[in-house]
Structure 1
């Protein structure tokens, strides 16, 4: 199952206000002192943010801008081949810049007229209840840092490229934005961590790593696929299964590897009906029902 904390470098703040981002030993920037100082500074700005204020403006370096340009160009090329029509249409309306990193308030200015969503800064991991719950207010918590320049097409954690190129292009679709809002409404009903985790896992296999069949071809709509150069090369080799929210909410999987199993919808309408319908109705008993269904023996067919 999905453990979101594994995706983020922990952020701590001392009593004196010093902010530190703790990169893993395998992180491409762990041995780069300048990058580590940079990450700490960007995280500190996010932690100092207060709701209602403008998002902190980041003075991105030439190196960071170059990473954005490289990844934007490569992902745009792959999106033309592998992204679904709904995402391509919403991305065209959003029209993110390819030559520079947009500030979060610029993303909000482009996104709000389309679907009412706005972006707010996050230093790193946002607790599940706060992250998903904010969708009810059409708010998305986004990191602002950029992956290390030594590996522009790879990141071990969600950075601004994932949050913006992946999620904003998706949320620019009114149909997908409505599903996000339904997720937020579901969180308000849930009282148990088990149910919240179940919701997060279904979200992972749909809005993060979902695929859809279009004209006989498999296309992606999940933000995790849309923002990953490597996943866009590999997802066509995954085992495809039909949408099954109970299986999605209980599946065990490794977030550090390309996903070997993906759940494929037959249309955007099916995503709305099955995934959106599930989020609209799920409650604290949903994980218990899923466990009961797993234990129930299959019904023998009549001969």
Structure 2
């Protein structure tokens, strides 16, 4: 999702979607005929790379979701095929979109158990990093966890909360929650720290950095803390927040946020690498290699 209540379409999105139309809710039929042999080869390369790297790094729920969904390894998956399995498991389905979509549209899709997936794929020149989401990030990174009932319920509740946050002027706070959980979250397991955030799961380099590097902070999940903490959109994260379980995440975010939003209005916003005095710190980062460009 977008990090602020501003909707803008990147140039690459315009380029990829020449001649394609979308419905009022920004969905479209997956334009399967547009995938080239190179697209399928790039998907295969990315899939093999991440599927070899993630065992022992990704949470078991993600790995199980990959198996249950039977995500195609050698070609861009057919959304309809995935939807038959997703709908049966948790009532979710993926819908094709052209790229970033307005906040209120995104929230409405989540609230109705529809996950927007950018249909197009990065090219070979941008294999390791693409600032806007593509089908590998959206589908490989996000969709396997939608087969987990608790996480599936969390994401629907997030969508419902987003519609309300928009009316209260609290979207930046809610965007930070999404960023530090759905995109860049870590989870503590009996086997150690594991990844569940899609922004990490779809990235070779950050899958290694987030668990192995001494540079970032790793801090126990705290809802209010996350809501007034900036983040990084152009480099690895300076801080990762760690949940104990998906049930903890669901329970912490189930109450109405109205009073919390009011209490945080005007509070100082922490930088992406700052630690608070009451943080439960699992790793105090060394800060080595941190960029000095502005946080989002």
Match of 1:97 among 69, 72, 75: 72
> Offset of 1:194 from its aligned partner?
2.9
Match of 1:137 among 103, 108, 112: 112
TM normalised by structure 2 equals 0.80
Match of 2:17 among 31, 40, 64: 40
Count of residues in correspondence between the two structures: 266
Give runs of aligned pairs for residues 49-198 of structure 1, distance below 5 A: 49=23, 55-59=29-33, 60-192=35-167, 194-198=169-173
Contact 2:49 2:204 in 1 (8 A): yes
Q: Which structure features the higher share of helix residues?
A: 1
> Offset of 1:151 from its aligned partner?
3.5
TM-aligned CA distance change 1:268 to 1:109, over 3 Å: same
Matching of residue 3 in structure 1 with residue 13 in structure 2: no
- Counterparts of 2:29 and 2:227 in 1: how far apart (Å)? 34
TM-aligned CA distance change 1:144 to 1:52, over 3 Å: closer
> Offset of 1:96 from its aligned partner?
0.4
> Offset of 1:50 from its aligned partner?
6.1
> Offset of 1:174 from its aligned partner?
1.3
DSSP-derived class of the 2:32 partner: coil
Contact 1:49 1:56 in 2 (8 A): no
Match of 2:239 among 249, 257, 261: 261
- Counterparts of 1:292 and 1:157 in 2: how far apart (Å)? 30
CA deviation profile, 1:40-91 (whole Å, cap 9, x unmatched) = 33xx42x334669972332211100010000001111122121011212222
Matching of residue 222 in structure 1 with residue 197 in structure 2: yes
> Offset of 1:292 from its aligned partner?
6.5
Match of 2:264 among 268, 290, 296: 290
Matching of residue 271 in structure 1 with residue 260 in structure 2: no
- Counterparts of 2:164 and 2:25 in 1: how far apart (Å)? 23
Contact 1:5 1:125 in 2 (8 A): no
TM-aligned CA distance change 1:52 to 1:63, over 3 Å: closer
- Counterparts of 1:293 and 1:234 in 2: how far apart (Å)? 31
TM-aligned CA distance change 1:83 to 1:137, over 3 Å: same
Unaligned runs of 5+ in 2: 270-276, 279-296
> Offset of 1:171 from its aligned partner?
1.2
RMSD: 2.8
TM-aligned CA distance change 1:156 to 1:246, over 3 Å: same
Larger radius of gyration: 1
Contact 1:70 1:152 in 2 (8 A): no
Of the structure 1 ranges 121-130 and 159-168, higher mean CA displacement relative to structure 2 is found in 121-130
Of the structure 1 ranges 150-159 and 68-77, higher mean CA displacement relative to structure 2 is found in 150-159
Matching of residue 281 in structure 1 with residue 256 in structure 2: yes
- Counterparts of 1:153 and 1:5 in 2: how far apart (Å)? 27
Unaligned runs of 5+ in 1: 12-20, 25-35
